[in-house]
Amino acid sequence: MNKIIFRIIIVFLAIAGLFLFLREFNWSKIFGLDDATQKLEQELGNQIWESMKSTENVDHDTMMMEVLDTIVNRLCASNQIQRSKIKLHLMENATANAFAMPGDYLIVHSGLFTNGCKTADQIAGVIAHELAHIEKNHVSRKITTQIGITALTTLVGGNAEAVKEAIRFFTSNAYDRSLEEEADLMAVTYMNESNLDPKALAETMDIFSEKSANPELEENLSWFSTHPASKERADYIRKESNKIKGKNYQKLQISQEYKEHFGW
């Protein structure tokens, strides 16, 4: 009996060891699945963007774009993010929203300036959060877990209705709680490394939380409505920010002309 038990233990340990050994390999990379998925995501992102341009207005507001370019350039340069891959676009839309799409697209609604944030640092906090979604591969994980590779292939097939559905998916669905928290905490790091006060993101949460209590003000808060529990998020963002000591942050300077233009 003891020999049988001993053999069972040996077999179990051998299987466990083999499992741990095999787990160390990136099988998706070995079989080329990562590259294939990345190409599909890039194509999907391109198709979504082309569809968006045909149904919505691209905003050419030079003041907003100057602020966004300054923020994205600074965040990327300070955090070793490849700036050239980020496809930044501004859409003419009253909703306070920004979102990441497949293919490293970062879309910002003009309403983020006019109906949401009140400082450039708050805008930077939102952008840092969306860059974190891109850099941490949250977009890819969202696709594979909620859409699936087979459906992704179908979307890339060029079906117009499918692409429209994909637009709705990426603009109106939140990431799960763990990914949102990871993006928030990564945004704290990005802001800190860029010498920007990460508490600005918590301030944005406060603004959205306050407005969400008023139905008349909540209407244009898409970024808030697709992201969970802003009060709780503001608290842990501040808690994480308070761990950073001895920093003298420099606020992004905006002229009075720009403030008046944005309604700040």
Rounded Cα distance, 165 and 182, in Å: 26
Name the most confidently modeled range: 145-154, 215-224, 249-258.
Answer: 249-258
Return mean pLDDT, the chain. 81
Mean pLDDT along residues 13-33:
52
Rounded Cα distance, 153 and 235, in Å: 40
pLDDT band at 1 (very low <50, low <70, confident <90, very high): low
pLDDT band at 36 (very low <50, low <70, confident <90, very high): low
Mean pLDDT along residues 139-166:
64
Q: What backbone torsions phi and psi does residue 99 show, to the nearest 5 degrees?
A: -155, 150
Q: What is the DSSP string of 68-91?
A: HHHHHHHHHHHTT--GGG-EEEEE
Predicted pLDDT at 141: 77
Predicted pLDDT at 231: 79
**167: amino acid identity, one letter:** I
Predicted pLDDT at 17: 59
Q: What backbone torsions phi and psi does residue 36 show, to the nearest 5 degrees?
A: -65, -45
Mean pLDDT along residues 83-92:
97
Mean pLDDT along residues 7-17:
60
Q: What is the DSSP string of 160-199?
A: HHHHHHHHHHHHH-PPPHHHHHHHHHHHHHHHHHTT--TH
Rounded Cα distance, 249 and 20, in Å: 45
Top-confidence residue, 228 or 136: 136
Least confident of 17-21, 45-49, 168-172: 17-21
Rounded Cα distance, 221 and 235, in Å: 20
193-233 pLDDT per residue, tens = 999 999 999 999 888 877 765 544 444 444 444 444 677 88
Predicted pLDDT at 251: 94
108-130 pLDDT per residue, tens = 999 999 999 999 999 999 999 99
Question: Helix/strand/coil (H, E, C) string of 238-256?
Answer: HHHHHCCCCCCCCCCCCCH
pLDDT band at 55 (very low <50, low <70, confident <90, very high): confident
Give the H/E segment covering residue 66.
Answer: helix 62-78
Q: Give the pTM.
A: 0.79
Predicted pLDDT at 45: 85
Name the DSSP class of 214.
Answer: S
Token couple for 210: 């306050």
Mean pLDDT along residues 127-149:
82
pLDDT higher than threshold 80 for residue 76:
yes
- Are 191 and 183 in contact by the 8 Å Cβ rule? The answer is no
Rounded Cα distance, 262 and 264, in Å: 6
Count CB atoms within 10 A of the CB of residue 95: 21
Q: What backbone torsions phi and psi does residue 58 show, to the nearest 5 degrees?
A: -70, 130
- Are 238 and 230 in contact by the 8 Å Cβ rule? The answer is no
> What angle, 0 to 180 degrees and rounded to 10, lies between the N-to-C axes of helices 120-135 and 177-193?
120
Q: Residue 55 burial (CB < 10 Å; 0-12/13-18/19+)?
A: exposed
